[in-house]
Amino acid sequence: MTHQVSISVADLTIRFPVYGVDAKSLKKHLARVTVGGRLGLSLAGATEVTALTKLNVELRAGDRLGLIGHNGSGKTTLLRALSGAYEPDDGMIDVHGRIAALLDLSLGIDPSATGYDNIRLRGRIAGLSAKEIDSRMDEIADFTGLGPFLSMPVKTYSAGMQARLAFAAATAVEADVLLMDEWIAVGDSDFQKLAHKRLLNLVERAGILVLASHDLDLLRLYCNKVMRLEGGVASPVTDIRKLSELLAA
């Protein structure tokens, strides 16, 4: 882990154009569900949703930031922006350190390939070299608990088996910055215990953690700071011990 690890976000704004829908009907729908960003019109006249508005955050080594907010509040958009998947429309993002984005368990899983091949594929997507993947293969394979099934195509797996494979491969990374969305509860209860232990080890080795979750106990377990998002607008970052106050605000 590098000691220079940091995240600096200044006035981050991200907008998404919405095609094939009337702004008024979309506004009515968003009003009913009480979530989502602000609606507006782009310069081209298309309806657009502002998913994040002038968001600011500074994180340094040792920071463990929990993100809270309703579905559609902007948590996943922020995580994807930090990972480099979304470019800012306004403002800037500056991340120093190797990023591991555990945002989508199904990313990079090829149903027609074997479990072993998918571990290699997922590792390459995560930025590991072929040599690094091979050196970790036995440990990853053992953690999945899938045994001889790893030599079979993933399309023959149950949903639980696929989740085990994807989780084991996704968490076999070394990262300075760890970005995690709420998909931690995978597999049966025994596997969940193993998963939590593995994640805790991963978090301890990382410099910075940003975790989006609705599970308050999980946030208190992993995080030392918290930020609330509502309609793409972020609260100031505060101490995790003030989580209840933040929720009541």
Packing angle between helix 130-144 and helix 159-170, nearest 10 degrees? 140
Counts for the chain of helices (H) and strands (E), in that order: 8, 11
pLDDT in tens, 2-58: 458 999 999 999 998 876 656 556 555 555 444 455 656 555 566 788 999 999 999
What are the structural domain ranges in the chain? 6-97+223-248, 115-210
- pLDDT reported for residue 101: 84
* Contact by Cβ (8 Å): 29, 190: no
pTM (whole model) above 0.85: no
Task: Give the sign of the dihedral formed by CA 150, CA 123, CA 62, CA 218.
Answer: negative
Mean residue pLDDT across the chain: 85
- pLDDT reported for residue 5: 94
Tokens matching residue 111: 């149903």
Can you name the CATH fold of 115-210? Rossmann fold (3.40.50)
- pLDDT reported for residue 201: 85
Torsional class of 11: left (φ above 0), alpha (ψ -120 to 50), beta (otherwise): left
pLDDT in tens, 111-170: 999 999 999 988 887 778 899 999 999 999 999 999 999 999 999 999 888 888 988 888
Q: Looking up tokens 């995080």, which residue turns up?
A: 223
Question: What count of other Cβ atoms lies within 10 Å of the Cβ of residue 36?
Answer: 21
